[in-house]
Chain A
Amino acid sequence: MSSRGGKQKKGNVTSEQEEEEQPLQAVLVADSFNRRFFPISKDQPRALLPLGNVAMIDYTLEFLTSTGVQETFVFCCWMSNKIKDHLLKSKWCRPTSPNVVHIITSDLYRSLGDVLRDVDAKNLVRNDFILVYGDVVSNIDVSQALQEHRHRRKVDKNISVMTMVFKESSPGHKTRCEEDDVIVAMDSKSKRVLHYQKTQGLKKLQFPMNIFQHGSDEFEIRHDLLDCHISICSPQVAELFTDNFDYQTRNDFVRGILVNEEILGNQIHLYVTQDGYGARVSNLQMYDSVSLDMVRRWVYPLTPEANFTDQQGQGCTHSRHNVYRGAEVSLGHGSQMEENVLIGRDTSIGANCHISNSVIGNNCTIGDNVVLDRAHMWNNVHVSSNVEIHQSVVCDGAVVKEAVRLNKQCVLAYNVVIGPNLSLPEGTVVSMHHPEEEEEDDDDEFLSDDQEVGHSKDKTRQKAFNPAEVGPEGKGYIWKASMNDTEDEELAQCLWGLVLNPDPESDSESEASEESQDRSRSVSPEIDDVNAFQLEVLGTLQRGLEENIVCDNLVLEINSLKYAYNITLKEVMQILTRVVLEYPFQQQGTQLTTLQYTGSLLPLLKTWSPVFKNYIKRAQDHLDCLSAVEELFLEQDTHQTAMVKVLMKMYQLEILEEEAILKWFSTGATNDKSRQLRKNQGVRRRVRRMSLRRKESAEDESSEEGECGRRGIKTEDLRTV
């Protein structure tokens, strides 16, 4: 530990020297820009939801302050007034606070990208800054990472734009959020990120070839990393967000940087820490586990009894088995607090209760014979006698009447009343807001929980509460997974984040990549763009065939695709050839016989010959096209004989020139397989014949037209086949 301590000390000293010139700044995004905590976050922004009876944003600010941040910009959007009030009352806005907090609010922020563009527009950061969300709980010492980041920037002349902080934790650990599950390829020595991909539950993953060719002799592909959502950014990051207005999230940014690495010369690095704790509360599952970790003291020194927010009356005592008690807590006769229990001030608990692994807020009343296991109760909750609560969240002001049972993963949002004598099934979400009110108001796809929802209160009042759902005296509407709307189906899962349901776009994206993965087993050193382009070309041709579109228009479309995906002419041609040759397989499955294959392919070649001609002009183009043909037939071993016909057809349609074919035949044999291909009887014969013809035609060039000669060959061919 001495070496570690020593290093830290040194780090502090150097960073302090630099800090004297420029205070360390941080950008805290106090908005999630998604609706994972709906309907809870309808009443309270996520950053202010209590975790261990302290608002989440306080953990983030404490983390920043303890790392030596002197100036923090808090960006809020959804319910910005509440966040502002909270911060103004907290210790962060006292004049003595070492960390000056600026609050910037705007209703226009829709994403992290908007926030950073605003940072750039307002010119807020002057030096490296730390970027975090308002729901990050961490005690990681980032001074080491900060030092590495600065060192890299000094050595490499500002090439490194971002250092992401990751924590080692093996797959399956409960603080690993499945949505954020990430696979990273990095250079072992320089810690440079080569590839970054969210796994999204995919079984197959694809790595671009160039990461293996990057000159570095050692690199790692890691899946044991937990994204702490803490990143050290240089001021360029904000500028890059401005330049690329389509960057919405950090994920976009990282992918963008990696794809354009060669062009812009920017790099992203990684800092992997082994000790410390860092997690982002991105859904209720995470909320549950982070809250428990907090009570189990993993986030030391941010423990409940430390009262780091310095609020009056928030202090509590800590006793064995991690039982924390606030001031004025009363506990009835025979009640047991087994382990990992945090009870806020002025809370009274009745007799014969059984409490374990739970957090109970301030001013709660709990009746007799109550069983709480992994319950998260916020402030002013009333629980009557004989209630059982398992792994559920009960928000402020909720009332649970007699003999109610909340099964796993229930959520009672603000001021809901439940019961009496009711058992809520697993995963029930009850809110005072009617789900339909929600639907009416958000036709907008992009609505996030930070958008003001017009309250149509009169309407909701008219709708009666369903006593079968919330009990005879209950108040609240059920937000159920089984509602007709698919969006609601997402909701319950999103809240707890148990089942992976990626967004529709990413879904299709992953499918697409899987698909393309199946087909393009070639060792092409290209990235996603090429695959996407290939798919598009295929689609275009298909459509062209179905709707009988003129070839000129097809060319036009392919050209525009070429620009959209930034594909070189050479690649266009190779892909086009490949798509066309694979077309029969696409349409009729891979079980075709060679005869069927050629039968369906040859007419297609004829139809699309103008398209080919448009792209194949120079001699080099011919060779490239031939190599694409060769590559494909190398893969399709069984159909090698068809190659003869394909080549012939292309020759006849004047797609390929005789000269090129001859040249290809004489030069190209690069490996055994392709040599074998060339040895193939048909090909050899064809080519020999071609060369013969060439001599002939050279001899009596004057007498015969080229077309006639070709016709001659054609008839000859028909005879040979």
Chain B
Amino acid sequence: MPGADKETDLTERIEAFLADLKRGGSGTGPLRGSGEMARETTYLLRRITAQARWSSAGDLMEIIRNEGRRMTAAQPSETTVGNMVRRVLKIIREEYARSRGSSEETEQQESLHKLLTAGELSEENFRQHFVHLKANVIEAINELLTELDGTTDNIAMQALEHIHSNEVIMTVGRSRTVEAFLKDAARKRKFHVIVAECAPFCQGHEMATGLSKVGIETTVIADAAIFAVMSRVNKVIIGTQTVLANGGLRAVNGTHSVALAARHHSTPLIICAPMFKLSPQVFTTIFYPFPGSFSYCLPVLREILSKVNVHCPVFDYVPPELITLFISNIGGNAPSYIYRLMSELYHPEDHKL
């Protein structure tokens, strides 16, 4: 039976992806970088849409929601996966609405009255069967994939608007987006970059090598020197792991101190973050995992370590009031505008998978 074959093939792929997610925490596993993670997730979701058995949009959404829940549980620190699941769910809703002929706008507009009266109705709405729905959804997911492929370039294109000649830029650790951003600017302008090394993983060293290769004047400083150097800096440009719903950040450890130093010196803090990093989550206390593989920080296990507890937090929370500007693939936005982007990208019912 070819159908059964397809199904086992699909589950196999899902299992493999889940296993990769579990092993690949914080960029050490086979999957590296949230961009790659986002693409992988979307490919998988497209495959599910194409190969799983479903008759109506409601079924499909249920399947995707289930798988999405498992994927996010597999690697809670990686929010990109959940974001992509939400994006796809939103696509299905839109395509369904389009097939029914109602405009998306009316569906989207939620009045307080509607919220109070709606109840379970929304699920029932998706029971109708449409022949072309599958093709349309896949088409829309393909568009999403093209969008993902272009994010870094889109962000890098805006570099010249923000970086001027002879400026001193500070960045922290390594971010592929920021690296591309700076490199793009370096084609036309001359400027100086100061990279904080970001111990203990010291991704900053890599970043500095990458930048100096294209001829950017680069200096690496220790994390402790951030405040001292800040007075000379014109702009701080950093990447982030996640953009939270309130406009705050969950970024690599040490970012908070950079943001505070920048605020103290009134230096603008610019965040380069593609839209897929925008997550409907907000900061909570349990949102503080320490997925550190400690042996990296302490390469030699000494005798004394038997008696020591080692904690290695990987992420910092940066409150939105410290941030000046977000540069995403659709342009620059202030932190206060994040709520709007959120409602454009995700359906409110999908915030919780």
- Which A positions have Cβ atoms within 8 angstroms of B? 1-2, 5, 12, 65-66, 94-98, 139, 168-175, 274-277, 289, 296-298, 300-301, 303, 306-308, 310, 315, 317-320, 322, 339-340
Contacts and interface: CB of A to CB of B under 8 A. Distances in A.
Interface in B1-30: 8, 11-12, 15-16, 18-19, 22-25, 28-30
Chain B, interface size: which category? 35 or more
B302 A173 contact: yes
B19 A301 contact: no
A300 B8 contact: no
B22 A306 contact: yes
A384 B74 CA distance: 36
Contact of B206 (A1, A98, A169, A319): A1
Contacts of B290: 297, 318
Nearest to B308: A296
Contact of B22 (A171, A274, A308): A308
B295 A277 contact: yes
A41 B78 CA distance: 40
A455 to B, nearest CB: 41
Contacts, number: 88
Given A1-B206, A300-B294, A310-B18, 16 more contacts: A1-B203, A66-B23, A98-B16, A170-B300, A171-B303, A173-B301, A276-B295, A277-B295, A297-B292, A297-B294, A298-B295, A301-B22, A301-B23, A306-B22, A315-B73, A340-B309
B286 interface: yes
Nearest to B16: A98
Interface centre among A2, A65, A289, A339 (most CB of B within 10 A): A2
B291 interface: yes
A317 B122 CA distance: 32
Nearest first, the 9 closest Cβ-Cβ pairs linking A and B are: A172-B303, A174-B306, A300-B293, A275-B295, A96-B15, A2-B206, A169-B301, A96-B12, A301-B25
Contacts of B202: 1
Interface centre among A1, A97, A308, A339 (most CB of B within 10 A): A1
A300 B296 CA distance: 11
Contact of A170 (B30, B293, B301): B301
B116 interface: no
11 contacts: A1-B201, A1-B206, A96-B11, A98-B15, A139-B293, A168-B300, A169-B301, A275-B293, A296-B310, A297-B291, A317-B286
B255 to A, nearest CB: 18
A298 B294 contact: yes
Contacts of A339: 309
A318 B286 CA distance: 8
A173 B303 contact: yes
A173 B306 contact: yes
A5 B32 contact: yes
A27 B73 CA distance: 31
A339 B291 CA distance: 16
A96 B289 CA distance: 30
Nearest to B32: A5
B292 A300 contact: yes
Contacts of B302: 170, 173
B8 A95 contact: yes
A289 B12 CA distance: 36
A96 to B, nearest CB: 4
B130 interface: no
Contacts of B8: 95-96
A297 B15 CA distance: 24
Interface string B120-154: 00000000000000000000000000000000000
A325 to B, nearest CB: 11
Nearest to A68: B30
A1 B24 CA distance: 15
Nearest to B312: A297
Provide the main secondary structure of the chain A interface. loop
A542 to B, nearest CB: 47
Contacts of A301: 22-25, 29, 291, 293
B305 interface: yes
Contacts of A308: 22
A559 B288 CA distance: 75
B101 interface: no
Contacts of B289: 318
Contacts of A169: 301
Nearest to B18: A310
Nearest to A169: B301
B11 to A, nearest CB: 5
Nearest to A12: B30
A320 B288 contact: yes
Contacts of B300: 168, 170, 274
Contacts of B29: 301
B73 to A, nearest CB: 7
Contacts of B305: 173
Contacts of A1: 201-203, 206
Contact of A275 (B16, B32, B74, B296): B296
Nearest to B313: A320
Nearest to A296: B309
Interface centre among B11, B25, B290, B293 (most CB of A within 10 A): B293
B119 interface: no
Nearest to B15: A96
A233 B286 CA distance: 45
A303 B286 CA distance: 17
Contacts of A97: 15
A139 B24 CA distance: 12
A97 B12 CA distance: 7
Interface in B265-300: 285-286, 288-296, 299-300
A339 B311 CA distance: 12
Contacts of A277: 295
Nearest to A319: B286
Contacts of A275: 293, 295-296, 299
B312 to A, nearest CB: 8
Contacts of B32: 5
A274 B19 contact: no
Nearest to B301: A169
Contacts of B74: 306
A319 B311 CA distance: 12
Interface string B202-222: 110010010000000000000
B226 to A, nearest CB: 21
Nearest to A171: B303
A274 B299 contact: yes
Interface centre among A94, A98, A320, A340 (most CB of B within 10 A): A320
Contacts of B286: 317, 319
A287 to B, nearest CB: 15
B130 to A, nearest CB: 31
Interface string B24-53: 110011101000000000000000000000
Interface centre among B203, B286, B301, B309 (most CB of A within 10 A): B301
A201 to B, nearest CB: 18
A12 to B, nearest CB: 7
Contacts of B303: 170-173
A95 B269 CA distance: 51
A338 to B, nearest CB: 11
Nearest to B25: A301
A5 B29 CA distance: 9
Contacts of A96: 8, 11-12, 15
Interface centre among A12, A170, A300 (most CB of B within 10 A): A300
Nearest to B76: A305
Interface centre among B285, B292, B305 (most CB of A within 10 A): B305
A438 B115 CA distance: 71
B175 to A, nearest CB: 14
A94 B310 CA distance: 37
A174 B306 CA distance: 6
A318 B25 CA distance: 15
A93 to B, nearest CB: 13
A96 B8 CA distance: 7
A477 to B, nearest CB: 34
A371 B294 CA distance: 29
B107 to A, nearest CB: 35
